[in-house]
Structure 1
């Protein structure tokens, strides 16, 4: 018997190497077989088609796009649309879900009843059915010529919802958002950092100064990015059979936001409720013994501990909700999935485009999970006590 077989580490390494080699061999055979089949059908393989013009329109885009744009730009439009939808729907689902979850644990009979009805109705109706329901309602709104502006310069019509907007470039908006997020991150760091030598009043002043500096820089970025010869604020104005100026939110986007937010909120409410109920009663009793009010016990003790308990489950829910953005294809919202589907029909590059779709969702969802897992590690209680 060879000497290396007497070593367990060597045997394990050899077995693992053989297993990985077999997987690589199977993948290689699959690629070669697929390429041969495509060549036999007269189809070309590879990603060269990404430079070709698409020749079809996209109804909603956050960047410039026309029929002469290449496939890679159409795919980028789809990715940005999905990210935009997720960036709106997930925070709304969280805010509504936390509110309903708190209502179900408030001890108030009416609030608990309303929260229970919300959860049982929207959790048990399929998401696709809810999407079609809200889309039908939005399309049934009056035409623009039969509607008037609501307070705040908002107009509701069957062609979309019109809201006030800013006459600024997209790059300036992106920079302004980054500045606000940077100010928020700095404020959270100042609040959570153990600044032993600094008095609490100095810390509060530093936080206020951080917010003021970040807000001022964001406003300056928007002002610098203002479109020449236009007012900074654009208010919808009724002209003829439609509205001009302002920002139009399409019925497709609005229906996706509403359905995903409400459906996700029903699940998040149950997660939050279970987390609040899992907090040991002794924690609240200790707060009462110290003379804390009911609000302080909830906001300083029960809710922070509940967040630590439910964070792993919430991460899984956020990943699932982002994957749910693909339902937009049912009402022709041009998200990542719909752009890939249309590209497959137009170009015939099925394997390449499905690979791009899978890789794109893998990167996005892994990034969401990675960031939230780092947040979970940061807020976890240290030491040997329960990590709640």
Structure 2
């Protein structure tokens, strides 16, 4: 025994085992104490309550839901609502952020002033205040009775924004979405593998053909999935005191989208600006020496290199922005967090529901980070090329 204690490897292993064992014992003790307290209060533990009917309504749902639906179904509604909000907000934030970042590095005084004003204004105002501002502004829009359609049937009302929609089966929309994802993934795989004997121009041509086929197939899928005896495009129309037809975007969802997109865009703009400033000036000078135009230097040199530089930071920003979707509870948008909060008040199963909430966000954020890291691996410079 004495010889083992003198062995440094044995001591290190023993300390690690003792540390991990102490953590396990602490977690077990906390679990047993929590269960004992629940039993003392007459509360049952476990996940059996997920099969019970909720008895409460959800104002916004992408799938069918009523008061007789189970808690498990309500949790699924909340997850889908949060994913839907993230899928809309993050691309919009990226487009606005990249645009503002380009403006701040354009060399044009007016563009730089506008970009700087945007960043300093929306980055320094708390997100929750921006959400309340946009929500109040949307509620102040005219009533449906007095709202006039604009831009081909779009109606801005205090009860929501009405947009033209498609009378297409949900399955066709889902298949079209999967087709877009498949084309995107295949394009990244082609870029990462660099098929032997495939020239760069040939690879670009193959990708262009792939996207052309996808753009042709998607309208065909929509046409085949059209609901019988209905027009393909459903235009909102005034009917009494409200609008009928089309797609209604609730003020709560629209306020969350605007607030998250603009607030996230202010941070993304700074990330993009830093990426452009990190590109060595020799890259620009080489482009000018080859006789490239300003647009070609931007699209072929600056933007691709900036994307490679900022991608790791952007992944972290996307994860943070998705967690920011929980602000919807402040204006009663039924996202994942609000559904869990309501379920806790109704069922009393606090520990189980908090565990579901934590597990759900962990899985979603880890999956998003894993996919974006694969994208980063696909676009990074290979071999002995310059790594910037």
Provide structure 1 residue ranges, at least 5 long, that are not aligned to the other structure. none
Deviation at 1:108, TM superposition (A): 0.3
Q: Are the structure 2 counterparts of residues 306 and 189 from structure 1 closer, same or farther at C-alpha, using a change threshold of 3 Å?
A: same
Q: Contact 2:162/2:236 (CA < 8 Å) preserved in 1?
A: yes
Q: Does 1:148 align with 2:148?
A: yes
* Number of aligned residue pairs: 388
Q: Are the structure 2 counterparts of residues 58 and 155 from structure 1 closer, same or farther at C-alpha, using a change threshold of 3 Å?
A: same
Secondary structure at the aligned position of 2:156 is classed as strand
Provide structure 2 residue ranges, at least 5 long, that are not aligned to the other structure. none
Deviation at 1:28, TM superposition (A): 0.7
Q: Deviations over 1:224-259 (max 9, x none)?
A: 433333222211111101111100000000000001
Distance (whole Å) between structure 2 residues aligned to residue 188 and residue 375 of structure 1:
7
Tell me which residue corresponds to 2:314: 314
Q: Does 1:66 align with 2:66?
A: yes
Tell me which residue corresponds to 1:161: 161
Tell me which residue corresponds to 2:53: 53
Distance (whole Å) between structure 1 residues aligned to residue 12 and residue 284 of structure 2:
52
Tell me which residue corresponds to 1:86: 86
Secondary structure at the aligned position of 2:358 is classed as helix
Q: Contact 1:141/1:156 (CA < 8 Å) preserved in 2?
A: yes
Q: Contact 2:191/2:379 (CA < 8 Å) preserved in 1?
A: no
Worse overlay, 35-44 or 222-231: 222-231
Q: Are the structure 2 counterparts of residues 364 and 206 from structure 1 closer, same or farther at C-alpha, using a change threshold of 3 Å?
A: same
Deviation at 1:365, TM superposition (A): 1.0
Deviation at 1:43, TM superposition (A): 0.6
Q: Are the structure 2 counterparts of residues 293 and 33 from structure 1 closer, same or farther at C-alpha, using a change threshold of 3 Å?
A: same
Tell me which residue corresponds to 2:281: 281
Q: Does 1:337 align with 2:337?
A: yes
Tell me which residue corresponds to 2:295: 295
RMSD of aligned alpha carbons: 1.9
Distance (whole Å) between structure 2 residues aligned to residue 208 and residue 376 of structure 1:
21
Deviation at 1:24, TM superposition (A): 1.1
Tell me which residue corresponds to 1:261: 261
Secondary structure at the aligned position of 1:243 is classed as strand
Distance (whole Å) between structure 1 residues aligned to residue 99 and residue 22 of structure 2:
52
Equivalent residues in 2 for 1:1-388, closer than 5 Å:
1-190=1-190, 194-195=194-195, 197-198=197-198, 203=203, 205-383=205-383, 387-388=387-388
Deviation at 1:7, TM superposition (A): 4.3
Distance (whole Å) between structure 1 residues aligned to residue 240 and residue 382 of structure 2:
64
Worse overlay, 229-238 or 192-201: 192-201
Q: Deviations over 1:177-203 (max 9, x none)?
A: 111221233345456653564566655
Distance (whole Å) between structure 2 residues aligned to residue 387 and residue 197 of structure 1:
24
Distance (whole Å) between structure 1 residues aligned to residue 121 and residue 201 of structure 2:
47
Worse overlay, 256-265 or 280-289: 280-289
Q: Contact 1:329/1:338 (CA < 8 Å) preserved in 2?
A: yes
Deviation at 1:207, TM superposition (A): 3.2
Q: Are the structure 2 counterparts of residues 30 and 120 from structure 1 closer, same or farther at C-alpha, using a change threshold of 3 Å?
A: same
Distance (whole Å) between structure 2 residues aligned to residue 386 and residue 2 of structure 1:
55
Deviation at 1:361, TM superposition (A): 0.8
Secondary structure at the aligned position of 1:144 is classed as coil
Q: Deviations over 1:57-116 (max 9, x none)?
A: 101000000000000110100000000000010110011000001000000000001001
TM-score, length basis structure 2: 0.94
Q: Contact 1:191/1:207 (CA < 8 Å) preserved in 2?
A: no
Deviation at 1:210, TM superposition (A): 2.0
Worse overlay, 210-219 or 19-28: 210-219
TM-score, length basis structure 1: 0.94
Distance (whole Å) between structure 1 residues aligned to residue 200 and residue 365 of structure 2:
39
Distance (whole Å) between structure 2 residues aligned to residue 327 and residue 98 of structure 1:
24
Distance (whole Å) between structure 2 residues aligned to residue 194 and residue 384 of structure 1:
16
Q: Contact 2:189/2:378 (CA < 8 Å) preserved in 1?
A: no
